[in-house]
Structure 1
């Protein structure tokens, strides 16, 4: 009886060891395959030795992280003035249709500027509260038309020109094959993790004919971009609202795509040059009531003097 019992225990022990060895071997094979398969990162592909673009971008987050700093990042945005952030409407406006559309409560959003790190608080990190959320009145969540929004901050972003800086708006539509840079903290592959240190990738603006061919809902105010020689360069979940930077200006806002890095499929961006007047009217030219009153008082004082 004892012999049978010992034999039974030995068999179980042997199987446990075999399973453990197989698991370790499979783990090594999977990691080797992963390194080969994901050699090119969707949202970046590279990190420059000197990053001159991260200072223009902010991380848009929920008001309070769940487990650790930065785990609540969900979108990006561009600094276009010390108090104005340019982003995508689908990041900060909720509703299944244009009729039901409502902006998120400003108190539910936090803007983090001044750092290329998502998970680390540095001496340059600035966490700023939002005063007002402005969504384009004709944003349509079904077609993604007019996917643009502004966040007006309560306090100014401190611009030192190195860690945080406003970026200019592209003033005219760019020709096809213009090289641009996309950057953000989005997933490094479909359903994959989000990076801590911001990633970059270089892609090219495509012609309107190409964009329309790939998506029947292609509309005024849109643009699409990709790299036809390397489809794995693409935006992904978490990059939304961030900038597509061309010739030193923000030309596009990450809007949507069909999956991440699918062959022969570009991602779509809001064309900033098509909304210059809307941005000025709702953001750059907009003064808070208290500022407007102070301006009137100042003019009265100047007149009396």
Structure 2
């Protein structure tokens, strides 16, 4: 049987070990947090959340047909509402293939577009989960170079636009001059290999001259643009922001396409220049809706005449 003295010594030693463990854990935690604050701003990359968000209503979250564990954990890309039935996104988000010959769109039934909310993981009163009827990829999209990285999703049902939680956005019709200030937003990683946010993040970047873009990417091509903030390179789109909008002067001017990492010094994010594809968008998306509207107009005129 242990003596009282031995029991007391054991209790003292255990308390000393617990105290040492506690102090070490606190010290390591402090070091980790200081290191994290030094390396990362935890802000899309280096983003912010505005007090009044007037831009999230234009954006949708693209997801798989069924989440894995919790609602929104299957988010993989973004998109822009350009009509109640048409979503503008990047081709690499909804097309697969190693080259142009093998390129084929995802099955519409495998994609869900979620609109009406800035929250990724929470179902709100305004959340709209919409099924896709047709996927239209640019015929000359090249997955290796990201040339012509643009696609459209035609929805089965219209998005309900209330002007607050969901709203269509206009297309930029002409190329913007260098150094135009724009905003990119989405649910992409908050830093490279980091987590994705629940609440959508914004960051402000500036369109750069073509020479700047060409110097940093040999495959810079017609229909591309790049943007960054030369005073704060951490402002950038990241994985999961692809397909989302670059909004300039109230219109969607770019589609998040690719980049060399996230927030890398002396680099930039690359975007599909929407103004270069406005005719393609009208022909493959907006114009496809007009015949239905035209037929409805004829039916309405007949009904009015007969009455």
TM over 0.5: yes
Q: Following the alignment from structure 2 to structure 1, what is the Cα–Cα distance between the partners of residues 17 and 152?
A: 60
Map of 1:102 onto structure 2: 104
Preserved contact between residue 208 and residue 225 of structure 2 (Cα < 8 Å): yes
Structure 1 position 98, deviation (Å): 1.4
Q: 2:169 aligns with which of 167, 170, 173?
A: 167
Structure 1 residue runs of 4+, over 3 Å off? 5-21, 291-297, 299-305
Map of 1:216 onto structure 2: 218
Q: Following the alignment from structure 2 to structure 1, what is the Cα–Cα distance between the partners of residues 46 and 262?
A: 12
Distance 1:40 1:23, change over 3 A: closer
Structure 1 position 278, deviation (Å): 0.3
Q: Following the alignment from structure 2 to structure 1, what is the Cα–Cα distance between the partners of residues 26 and 279?
A: 59
Q: Following the alignment from structure 2 to structure 1, what is the Cα–Cα distance between the partners of residues 56 and 294?
A: 35
Distance 1:239 1:160, change over 3 A: same
Map of 2:47 onto structure 1: 45
Greater Cα shift, 146-155 or 26-35: 26-35
Preserved contact between residue 145 and residue 219 of structure 2 (Cα < 8 Å): yes
Map of 1:269 onto structure 2: 271
Give the SS at the match of 2:130.
Answer: strand
* Residues 1-305 of structure 1 mapped to structure 2, 5 A cutoff: 18-19=20-21, 21-39=23-41, 41-43=43-45, 45-287=47-289, 291=292, 294-295=295-296, 298=299, 301=302
Preserved contact between residue 42 and residue 232 of structure 1 (Cα < 8 Å): no
Q: Following the alignment from structure 2 to structure 1, what is the Cα–Cα distance between the partners of residues 257 and 151?
A: 11
Structure 1 position 224, deviation (Å): 0.2
Give the SS at the match of 1:123.
Answer: coil
Distance 1:184 1:173, change over 3 A: same
**What is the RMSD of the two structures over their aligned residues, measured on CA atoms?**
2.7
Preserved contact between residue 43 and residue 185 of structure 1 (Cα < 8 Å): no
Q: Following the alignment from structure 1 to structure 2, what is the Cα–Cα distance between the partners of residues 105 and 176?
A: 38
Preserved contact between residue 45 and residue 263 of structure 2 (Cα < 8 Å): no
Q: Following the alignment from structure 2 to structure 1, what is the Cα–Cα distance between the partners of residues 148 and 239?
A: 19
Distance 1:204 1:158, change over 3 A: same
Distance 1:234 1:96, change over 3 A: same
Q: What TM-score comes out, normalization by structure 2 length? A: 0.90
Distance 1:12 1:90, change over 3 A: farther
Structure 1 position 193, deviation (Å): 0.5
Q: What TM-score comes out, normalization by structure 1 length? A: 0.91
List alignment gaps of at least 5 residues for structure 2: none
Give the SS at the match of 2:271.
Answer: strand
> How many aligned positions are there?
303
Structure 1 position 294, deviation (Å): 4.5
Structure 1 position 165, deviation (Å): 0.3
What per-residue deviation string (whole Å, max 9, x for no partner) do you get for residues 40-69 of structure 1? 625352111111100000000001100101
Give the SS at the match of 1:131.
Answer: strand
Q: Following the alignment from structure 2 to structure 1, what is the Cα–Cα distance between the partners of residues 96 and 66?
A: 19
Q: Following the alignment from structure 1 to structure 2, what is the Cα–Cα distance between the partners of residues 251 and 227?
A: 17
